[in-house]
Amino acid sequence: MSPDLLQQYSIIVNFLGKALGQDYEIVLQDLAPDRSQIAAISNGHISGQKIGSPVTDTALQMLASKPYRENDFLCNYRSVTEDGSVLRSSTMFIKDEDGAPIGLLSINFDDTRYIELYKKLFSIIHPKPFLEENPLPFQKPRHTAAMASGQAGSITENFSMDIPSLMQKMFEDATVSLITPVNRLNQQEKKEIIQKLSDKGLFQLKGAISFVAKHFSCSSATIYRYLSELSN
């Protein structure tokens, strides 16, 4: 992203953070290949992200699946913080003159305070025995394995504090169903995992080739060869 454009959106990040308040995290992600990181953030206490944190797994997947070709933004999908809290998120694509994404402007809403208020209100309206027999109709969700599997076709975004953690999370998600140890997979099985990782956008990250090669106990050249074969 050009420095001038980045500065303009950085101002918007600060403005929205102050205008919307402490329950809204505003994030600007720079998608430049040599950076791919958080360029500006307001109310970062919500997810724990900070300037310099890596782009999210969802951002990488967006780069791979290219939804920006038909959409200017995606609204109301689920994001998960490191402590398991679930946020409601929306992202706008920042594109260059050719329509290629150069950045992402995201809003992550944390409704924890409102859920607590809702619970208190219900406890005033209804007696305790009633609440014990009838759970609240709306409880703030926590991240579960079912959410991670992407059921119901929803997007689930995970926040990582550093590149190695992000790559490890993406690799574990792609191999979680395996029975055979990763370093004992045959060539076809390895290719299938690499295809999954490519679809997730892992190889947009610097160092991803050597990271996967180490897990597969093979050379980086082998991973490059697999990727070349899969692209043909």
Tell whether 129 is covered by a domain. Answer: no
Tell whether 99 is covered by a domain. Answer: yes
Which residue among 153, 185, 209 closes a domain? Answer: 153
Nearest-angstrom CA–CA distance, 206 and 35: 9
Say if CB 27 and CB 90 are below 8 A apart: no
Q: Are residues 171 and 79 in the same domain?
A: no
* CA 157 vs CA 43, 48, 172: distances in Å: 18, 14, 15
**Mean pLDDT per segment of 10 residues, for the chain of length 232 residues?**
77 96 95 84 93 87 86 89 85 90 93 82 79 62 39 58 83 88 87 91 87 91 92 80
Q: Are residues 31 and 99 in the same domain?
A: yes
Tell whether 79 is covered by a domain. Answer: yes
Tell whether 8 is covered by a domain. Answer: yes
Tell whether 132 is covered by a domain. Answer: no
Determine the distance from the C-alpha atom of residue 8 to the mean position of all C-alpha atoms in its chain, rounded to a whole number.
24
Return the pLDDT at 127.
Answer: 79
Nearest-angstrom CA–CA distance, 207 and 163: 9
Q: How many domains, the chain?
A: 2
Which residue among 99, 131, 153 closes a domain? Answer: 153
Q: Note the pTM of the prediction, 2 decimals.
A: 0.69
Return the pLDDT at 38.
Answer: 92
Say if CB 159 and CB 82 are below 8 A apart: yes
Domain that holds residue 200: 162-231
Work out the angle at residue 175's Cα, subtended by the Cα atoms of residues 169 and 178, and round it to the nearest 5 degrees: 150
Q: Are residues 98 and 172 in the same domain?
A: no
Q: Are residues 8 and 70 in the same domain?
A: yes
DSSP 3-state of 214: helix
Return the pLDDT at 80.
Answer: 83
Q: Are residues 168 and 78 in the same domain?
A: no
Return the pLDDT at 153.
Answer: 37
| Start-to-end CA span in the chain (Å) | 30
Nearest-angstrom CA–CA distance, 106 and 71: 15
Return the pLDDT at 11.
Answer: 93
Tell whether 46 is covered by a domain. Answer: yes
Q: Are residues 104 and 185 in the same domain?
A: no
* CA 228 vs CA 169, 198, 223: distances in Å: 24, 11, 9
Return the pLDDT at 108.
Answer: 95
* CA 19 vs CA 66, 74, 90, 226, 230: distances in Å: 31, 21, 17, 49, 47
Return the pLDDT at 148.
Answer: 38
Tell whether 120 is covered by a domain. Answer: no
